[in-house]
Every structure is written in structure tokens, then in C-alpha cells.
Homo-oligomer: A and B are copies of this chain.
Amino acid sequence: MAETPDHPAGSSSPSKYHNFDVDYVIHYKLPTSPSESAKAEAAFSQLIHVLAKAGFATEVRPGKQGSNSLLVFVKLASLPLLQSQVYRSRIQDWLYGVRTAAPNPTNLPLSRYFDSEPVTEAERLRLAYLLITKTKNENGAGVTPKIGTWKYVESIFPLHDRKFNRQWITEWSTKYVLDEEDLTKIRDKFGERVAFYFAFLQSYFKFLLFPAAFGSAAWLLLGGFSWFYAAVNCLWSVIFFEHWKMKEVDLAVQWGVRGVGKIQLPRPQFQFERESLDPVTGEIVKVYSPYKRLARQALQVPFAIACVVVLGNLIVSCFAIEIFINEVYIGLFKQYLTFLPTILLTIFMPTFTTLLTKLAEKLTDLENYETVDAHQDSFVQKIFVLNFITSYLGIFLTAFVYVPFGKILVPYLDVFSMTAQKFTTEGKPLPTQVWQINPDRLKKQVIYFTVTAQIVNFATEVIVPYAKRKAFKTVEKVQALSEKNEEGLLKDSPDEAAFLKRVRNEAELADYDVTIDYREMVIQFGYLSLFSVVWPLTACSFLINNWVEARSDAMKIAVNSKRPIPWRADSIGPWLNSLGFLSWLGSLTSAALVFLFNTNKSGPDGSPWEISAWALLLSILFSEHLYLVVQFVVRGVLAKLDSPGLQKERAERFAMRKLLLEQMIEHD
């Protein structure tokens, strides 16, 4: 790759990568109706005005051909403004305890101070975004996309650094293991929030090496449903979870963002009930009754029940139809009918999930949080419930209903046979098989979810959007050609043409949502923790998948999404709790699965289950408490070990204390 400098002038290749020092692009969509149009135009001139007032230089260019939109290129006008923003933000960090050392402790002139602690790209972009969105009281421009006056502001996004992206993708696709340096690069470009995802993914990937190796050995030597594999797997999940908790803190310290969660972004959609005097700050604050919110949060319970009922019914129905067709029915069109449940699931599952996700969004809005983080956390919680059901309920049904209670279910399946018999016009009974439990079903299902579904997921995540965009582009080109004949193309200056084309494309890309990637990994961890005892090769599949996943997620950010705003974060947030929950639940399900399926003689086929029920419960109870004890011990041991990040933090704090103490004592 050509090593072109960042700010060249006049050469031919640079504009291919060059962003003209633009900080943000505001995509402004003008409405088509004339009444709205006037409003939108007024708002647009206001936009330019407030941006200028907040200290931004702006340039406007037309948006994509025929989209009736404008692109506002925004750039912080002066270096002192940027420096004062950075300095304020660093002081705030220090006061909130995010950074240990005060910025500029030796009182250098600001320009020289910034030589010693330079501004990173992520810092600049984050503060620029904050300056655009902060209220006017806080000296910002107060632009909030899609809300109120700014409802025509479609999006505010930074521009991709093509050169970096290209290098990034090339590098990653040619190396096996990502290192700290790779993460630091991501952090400097995309902020700690995205970097934490990759750090988690990387840590998880490394940890997967052990269960992949051990799982293969167990698969060869022990087979499925081995209690030894289950125990080792649980122990592994405890160690992984506890290790990550430490690693998270460590990374936060190394990246200088520990406790950054305390500095909260206000949520512009927050609706206040009344204003009151804050007992803490003595300022007037907007208040929403916590009791009202608690009452609304209680709606999560009916929501969870609704999820279970709606998705549960769908899954159970498809499950029953599937069993009937595959294992009872042997009549006409069997080869086609086999696909019926899959078709039903493929149609209804995404529909219901979308509906319920919308409902979750509505509920979270209703809970009316003051801060972006609280809103996000609450939403993630609901999404986890939803995904838990869609991902695991099927396997739960097979393992804990279909197999153990199979014999009891037979009469219900006879209902199917009877219905089936009515379908024949001639009144002749439809031919049906004698029903028997299919013991391989569980394994097949687990393999489906851990291998097939992962591949399908990769396809829908990377290949489909890419193909879609390519197809759309072709259509648009054809349209543009036909329009050209009618109106003539907007003429970009030749210097800017390539750049503008690139920006227009980026404006059309989707927002990158790290939540979706986290969800995927957490749900995957769930399969490993909950069901891998069924098929010990699970971790192998995940190991391969996650190598690809890291690269495809990088691709997704670099090629298929707008460049994310480089937010900070000091952890993987609410997903940590989800991980802990799945790890714990794994101790229950593994014990139950081993107990039910390990010996084929007396348990699973439904015969003497009543007598061994107490043994099943005892083994679950034992396993769970063993898990808790092991967790306690692992936590204790890990807490004793020192981590480089925490050591660094302590050293800094100590140095600061010593310095201050000496100063004070001298003074005294």
C-alpha cells in the first residue's frame, strides 16, 4: 500500500483516501411536501447558524442524486477551541477519578502541554460530536438528530479513514492472533466502546482454545453426555467469566477510561415531570418520579411472559408439527411437508422477533431514562430475554420435555394422527408410523444451532448486505443514466468528485451497532455453557467461527457501516451479567443433561422417571452448589493475583498521593 502522507496537496492519489480534514458529515434530508419543505429549509439555515456559533466551519454539498438531501461538512474551526475542549474534558475526567493524574500538572502553556499528551483522533471526534449535540447552555450547537427541530437531520457521522481500514483488514486477515497493539489501534480510531468488543472477542477466542482441544478429546474418548466433560466445561466457564471481569478492569485502566460510566450523557428524549432543586448540586434539575419508573419497569414481567407465550407457542407448534411429520406421518407429500416447520419458523420467527423488539423499544422509551447508558442497559436486558427464548427454547423443549416426557406426549400426538386422518377425502386412515422417541434429535438440534446457524448468521451479516448494496447500486446506476437524459447530473468539482462519491455512499450505510455483535457472542457462549455436553465439538466450531467473526466484524465496520462515533466505555456493560447468568445456568442444564442422557437404561426414554426424579434433582442441586463454591474459590484466588493495569493505577495514585502529601506537609 502506498505510504502517502495525511495532508498532501495536489498529488493524484491522495484524494482517494483524503478526507479534507472533515470532522463530521451531517446528512440532511429535505422533505418532498412543500409545506414541510419551508420548515426544513428554515431549520437548515438555523443548523448552519448554530454550528458556526458553536465554533464549526461548514461546507454544504448536494447529497446523492435524486435523494433530495444535503451533506453538511463540519470541521472544528480553530485549534484553541479543540484544545480547550480537550482540556476541559480531561479535567472533568480527573475530577471524576477517571484519570489519576491531573492534566498539565506542571502548568505548561497549553500548546506545549499538548505536545506531551497529544490529542488522539478518537478524542477529537468524540468531543466534536459532543460539541455538536450538547445543549446551547453548555456552549454546544444542540443538534439532536431526528428529534424536534432537527427531525430532518438524518444522521451525523464521521468519515472512514480508508487508508487505515484497508491496512486493518489486510493485516487482520493475514495474522492468526490479535494482540494488544491491534486493540489499541482500534481504540484510537473507533473509541473504547468498539475496542472493548474486540478485546472481549479476542479474549473469548483465546479461551476457546482449551475447550476446543479438550472437547475434541472428550468427543473421541468419552462421547456425549460425559459428566467429566460437563464438570471441566463448567469450571472453564467460571474461570473465563472471572478472568474477563478482571481483564475488563485492567483494560479500562490501561486505556484510561476506568469509571467513565460515571460521566453520563443526558438522553435528549428524556421527558421530565417537574423541575426541582437537586439536593446534591443545588441546581434546578428535571425530575421524573422514580416510583413511576419502577412501576413502568414492572412491565418487564408481562413483557417476558408475552415473549415466552408468543415465541414459545410458535416454537412448540413447529416442534409438534415437525415431530408429527418426521416421526409419525408417513403419508402423501412427506418429502415436501418435512420443510413445513422450517418454513413456518423462517416466516414467523423474524416477524414476531421484530414485533417484540419494537415492543421492547417502546417499553424502554416508556421507562423514560435520563441518560443514554441507563436506556441502553434496560433495552439490552429485554433483548437478552428475547434472544434467550428464540435461541434456547427449542433445545430446552427437546431435552427436558420431548425426551423425558415423550411417552406422556403420545396421546397428544394421536390427536394429530386423528386430524390427519380427516384430511383424506376417501375416509381411509392416513398411514402413520408407530411413534418412538428419536434420541438423536437433541444432538442434531445442537449441531444445527452451533454450526449451521453460525454459518447462516455470517452470511446474513456480511454477505447479504454486501450483495444487496451491489444490487442496489446497479439499479441506481441504470436509473441515474435514464435521469441524466432528463435533468443532467449535478456537477461536482473534479477535485472533490471522488471524495463526494465516497461520502454519499457512506451516508447510505447502516449505523454500526456493537450491541448486535455482543448479543451474538453472548448467545454463542450460552450454547457452549448450556448444551455443549450434548456435543463436545461445539467449542471447535465456535473457535473457527470466531476467528472469522473477528475479521467479518472488522469488515462490517470498515465496509458495511458508517464509521462509528468513538464513544468511550469501561466495560462490556450489561452483557457481563448475561454471561454470568448463562455460566450459572450451565451448571444446572449440564447436570440435568448428563443425568438424563448419560445412561440409556433407566432414565430418558420416559419409563421409570418418577423414581429417579429425586436423583435428577439432587444432581442438579449438587452441581449448582458445587458451581457456586468453585466460583467463590476462583474469585478469591484471582483477586489475590495482581494485574498490570491495576498495578499501574495504584502506582499512579501512590505517586500522586506522595506528591500532594509532601506539598501539604511543606506548606504546613
User: Given A617-B614, A617-B621, A637-B294: A661 and B92 within 8 A (CB)?
Assistant: yes
Residues of chain B lying within 8 A (CB to CB) of residue A620: 621
Asked whether any CB of chain B lies closer than 8 Å to the CB of A88, the reply is yes
Q: How far is the CB of A113 from chain B (nearest CB, A)?
A: 10
A270-320: which residues lie under 8 A (CB-CB) from chain B? 279-282, 290, 294
Residues of chain B lying within 8 A (CB to CB) of residue A637: 294
User: Given A279-B647, A617-B618: A294 and B661 within 8 A (CB)?
Assistant: no
A577-628: which residues lie under 8 A (CB-CB) from chain B? 610, 613-614, 616-618, 620-621
* Contact with A290, one of B294, B617, B640 (Cβ below 8 angstroms): B640
Asked whether any CB of chain B lies closer than 8 Å to the CB of A657, the reply is yes
Is B280 in contact with A647, judged by CB distance below 8 angstroms?
yes
Asked whether any CB of chain B lies closer than 8 Å to the CB of A110, the reply is yes
Asked whether any CB of chain B lies closer than 8 Å to the CB of A664, the reply is yes
Asked whether any CB of chain B lies closer than 8 Å to the CB of A101, the reply is no
Copy count, this protein chain = 2
User: Given A95-B660, A617-B618, A621-B617: A665 and B294 within 8 A (CB)?
Assistant: no
User: Which residue of B is nearest A610, CB measured?
Assistant: B614
Asked whether any CB of chain B lies closer than 8 Å to the CB of A53, the reply is no
Residues of chain B lying within 8 A (CB to CB) of residue A135: none
User: Which residue of B is nearest A660, CB measured?
Assistant: B95
* Mask of A546-561 contacts with B, CB within 8 angstroms, 1/0: 0000000000000000
User: Which residue of B is nearest A663, CB measured?
Assistant: B91
Complex: how many Å from CA A657 to CA B110?
A: 21
User: Which residue of B is nearest A90, CB measured?
Assistant: B664
Complex: how many Å from CA A420 to CA B580?
A: 57
Chain A contact surface mostly: helix
Residues of chain B lying within 8 A (CB to CB) of residue A658: 281
Is B280 in contact with A650, judged by CB distance below 8 angstroms?
yes
Residues of chain B lying within 8 A (CB to CB) of residue A650: 280
* Mask of A95-134 contacts with B, CB within 8 angstroms, 1/0: 1100000000001001000000000000000000000000
* Mask of A184-216 contacts with B, CB within 8 angstroms, 1/0: 000000000000000000000000000000000
Q: How far is the CB of A261 from chain B (nearest CB, A)?
A: 15
User: Which residue of B is nearest A652, CB measured?
Assistant: B280
Place the interface of chain A in its size category: 35 or more
User: Given A661-B95, A668-B110: A651 and B294 within 8 A (CB)?
Assistant: no
User: Given A279-B651, A637-B294: A665 and B88 within 8 A (CB)?
Assistant: yes
Is A95 in contact with B280, judged by CB distance below 8 angstroms?
no
Q: How far is the CB of A9 from chain B (nearest CB, A)?
A: 34
Residues of chain B lying within 8 A (CB to CB) of residue A290: 640-641
* Mask of A34-51 contacts with B, CB within 8 angstroms, 1/0: 000000000000000000
Asked whether any CB of chain B lies closer than 8 Å to the CB of A438, the reply is no
Asked whether any CB of chain B lies closer than 8 Å to the CB of A654, the reply is yes
Asked whether any CB of chain B lies closer than 8 Å to the CB of A482, the reply is no
Asked whether any CB of chain B lies closer than 8 Å to the CB of A518, the reply is no
Residues of chain B lying within 8 A (CB to CB) of residue A667: 107
Is B294 in contact with A640, judged by CB distance below 8 angstroms?
yes
Asked whether any CB of chain B lies closer than 8 Å to the CB of A512, the reply is no
Complex: how many Å from CA A132 to CA B256?
A: 41
Residues of chain B lying within 8 A (CB to CB) of residue A282: 651
**Residue from A84, A614, A620, A621 whose CB has the most chain B CB atoms within 10 Å:** A614
Is A281 in contact with B651, judged by CB distance below 8 angstroms?
yes
Complex: how many Å from CA A640 to CA B660?
A: 36
Residues of chain B lying within 8 A (CB to CB) of residue A96: 657
Complex: how many Å from CA A651 to CA B283?
A: 11
* Contact with A651, one of B280, B617, B647 (Cβ below 8 angstroms): B280
Asked whether any CB of chain B lies closer than 8 Å to the CB of A17, the reply is no
* Contact with A84, one of B613, B641, B668 (Cβ below 8 angstroms): B668
Complex: how many Å from CA A38 to CA B193?
A: 71
CB<8 Å pairs between A and B, sample of 30: A84-B668, A87-B668, A88-B665, A91-B660, A91-B661, A91-B664, A91-B665, A92-B661, A95-B656, A95-B657, A95-B660, A95-B661, A96-B657, A107-B667, A279-B647, A279-B651, A280-B654, A281-B654, A282-B651, A290-B640, A290-B641, A294-B640, A610-B614, A613-B614, A614-B616, A614-B617, A617-B618, A617-B621, A620-B621, A621-B621
In the complex, given contacts A87-B668, A92-B661, A281-B651, what are 18 additional A-B residue pairs having Cβ atoms less than 8 angstroms apart?
Answer: A91-B660, A91-B664, A95-B656, A95-B660, A96-B657, A110-B668, A279-B647, A279-B651, A280-B654, A281-B658, A282-B651, A294-B640, A613-B614, A613-B618, A614-B617, A617-B617, A620-B621, A621-B621
